[in-house]
Amino acid sequence: MANTSLCLTVVSPADNQSFELLDVPSEATPAEIITELVNQGQVPLLPAGQSYLLALKGGHQLDETQSLAANGVTDNTTLQLIAPTPGAADDAYRHERLMGNYREMGNIRGPRIDWQGEGGHPPTTYVVTYRLPSYIDQQRTREVHRVRFELDAQHPDEKPSVRMLDSPPVFHPNVFADGRICIGNQWSREEGLGFLVIRVAKMLLYYEIFTNPDHPANGDAARWYRANRARFPLGGAIAFPDPITGAVTEQRRFTIIRRSAQR
């Protein structure tokens, strides 16, 4: 079956050039597009050991070995060409990534998650207010929690710093006594801030997939969590917005009918 053809715009933020690419197969890879731009003389060949990157507008880097379709690229998409040189290209990439974070944060704002931005526009720091239950000791819960997300000058190459502002912090295996939240090795530079903020929300609710008692920041909380797994997750079927679209998909509950064994 023939591949679907796409019309793409590729923008180089460093020098404000743009290239219109027509009839691009959806099975082409970002690496093949970059090679074609170099072969046509649209962009210079880089020294050995250096390579361009392609990213979706908003700073989400594409996997150069995967097809455009696998990367979620659709027709009339604008891609960004990132040069591996310091200066304007790096600054442009960071700015676009921060703008992408800002758009995601706008999409997830609602009754459960609110925030204030700091550090300019787009913000480099977000103080997020969560309105959901989480334990502050082995018996008591609190319904409102404030968490600071800081994006330093190396972001997105470095993961955000995440710290609770309320005292006491939540009683959780992955929260230190000083309020620092361990987001662990689950973070990658491709993860947008909106997705991370929702991941922390689910961690505060003790979702098993986001709670790691095996490498705890709080040993007492890890032992307590293991002994009380039946309590979790908290909050029932809380639905969170999609950071890309803002859409909220209600979580479905299933009715299980237990059948008697037939004799």
**For each of the chain's 263 residues, which pLDDT tens digit applies?**
356 789 988 888 767 788 889 999 999 999 999 888 888 888 888 777 778 888 887 667 888 889 999 988 999 988 888 876 555 556 777 888 899 999 999 999 999 999 999 998 899 999 999 999 999 999 999 999 999 999 998 888 889 999 999 999 999 999 999 999 999 777 788 899 999 999 999 999 999 999 999 989 999 999 999 999 999 999 887 899 999 999 987 554 444 444 444 44
Residues of the chain with CATH 3.10.20.90: 5-85
User: What is d(CA 132, CA 210) in angstroms, rounded to the nearest whole number?
Assistant: 16
What pTM was computed for the model? 0.65
Cα atoms in the Cβ-side hemisphere of radius 13 Å centred on 4: 12
pLDDT attached to residue 52: 85
Q: What are phi and psi of 134, to 5 degrees?
A: -160, 150
Residue type at 144 in one-letter notation: V
Q: Got the DSSP string for 209-248? A: GG--SSS-S-HHHHHHHHHTGGG-S-SSS---B-TTT--B
Instruction: List helix spans (H) across the chain.
Output: 30-39, 88-108, 193-204, 219-227
Domain 95-231 sits in CATH at: 3.10.110.10
d(CA 16, CA 8): 16
Domain 5-85 class?
alpha beta
Residues of the chain with CATH 3.10.110.10: 95-231
